[in-house]
Amino acid sequence: MERDAAVDRIEAILETIDAETMPVPVREVWVFGEVALGLDPIDRLDVYLTKDVLFGGERKNRKNREGERDRDFEAEFGVKGIGGTVRAEWALDHPDLIETSDNGYVAPEKCLAAHLLPDDEPVHLEVCNASFDANVTQRLEGALAREIYGEILDPRGVCLWVDGERDGEALGRLREGSFAMPTLEEALEMLGADSEVATEAAAAMRRDRSDADGASVRGDVV
């Protein structure tokens, strides 16, 4: 993916989040990995969204917009969680974008990916209720403890959008490729991994990336 196309895609994501109702409230938008390093081209574009949880949600049964009848969202859409896990308003407007987990419950991260990402572009979306920095630490600690290095989140990130405010300076620097970033091994060592483990982990992360194709998404709860 050419760098200009990657940054154009990032800007399109920000504009969509600004202008449209999302499946769940989005609080932060980050990019990380290769695009933050200034590479051109990049193998994949990595985007991180911090989302809010819909505490309490909306009633499963409620009157529709015309007030004609009550609607049972589970019966109507054939999935659980509409109005509680994702916004009912969004589901009613975008029934074709509703995505579920294996247990038949609506999956916010997959819904966000369906709304924001074209299927044919090499873009990976990470979605979590925690901010990027907090999730980087959480994922690293868990991966090191279990020696499952492919689960590590690349810590080299740039925050572009917080609570509706876009960081134009950061976006400009991203387009210029002017951020100074360490190597992946160095970044992992800065977070507490010893040198040998950091080297092994970085190699595992690169292997996993080489196997990825098209758009992909992962959801976390911290």
Give Cα 150 to chain centroid, integer Å.
17
Please check the confidence at residue 150 and state whether its pLDDT lies above 50. Answer: yes
d(CA 108, CA 71): 21
Q: Give the model's pLDDT for residue 81.
A: 93
Report pLDDT for 169.
96
Mean pLDDT value across the chain: 90
Indicate whether 218 pLDDT > 90.
yes
Q: Which residue has the higher pLDDT, 76 or 159?
A: 159
pLDDT score at 209: 81
pLDDT attached to residue 212 = 80
pLDDT beyond 90 at 48: yes
The segment with the largest mean pLDDT, out of 64-73, 79-88, 108-117, is 108-117
Checking if the pLDDT of 87 tops 90, the result is yes
Once rounded to an integer, what is the mean pLDDT over residues 43-48?
96
Question: What pLDDT was estimated at residue 214?
Answer: 84
Question: Range with the lowest mean pLDDT among 112-126, 163-177, 207-221?
Answer: 207-221
Mean pLDDT of 76-84: 91
Which of 73 and 109 is assigned the larger pLDDT?
Answer: 109
- State both tokens at 126: 């990470």
| Residue 55: predicted pLDDT | 60
Structure tokens at 98: 């509703």
pLDDT range class, residue 72, cuts 50, 70, 90: confident
45/31 Cα distance (integer angstroms)? 8
Residue 166 has pLDDT above 60, yes or no: yes
pLDDT at 45: 96
pLDDT digits (tens, 9 = 90+) for 7-26: 999 999 999 999 999 999 99
d(Cα 175, Cα 170) in Å, to the nearest integer? Answer: 9
Per-position DSSP letters for the chain, written without gaps between them: --HHHHHHHHHHHHHHHHHS--SS-EEEEEEETHHHHT-SS-S-EEEEEEE---SS---SEEE-TTSSSEEEHHHHHSSB-BTTTB-HHHHHH-GGG--B-TTSBB-HHHHHHHHH--TTS-EEEEEESS-HHHHHHHHHHHHHHHT-GGGPPP--EEEEEETTEE-HHHHHHHHHT------HHHHHHHTT--HHHHHHHHHHHHHHHHH--S-EEEEE--
Average pLDDT for 180-189: 96
Contact 30, 160 (CB under 8 A): yes
pLDDT (mean) for 97-108: 93
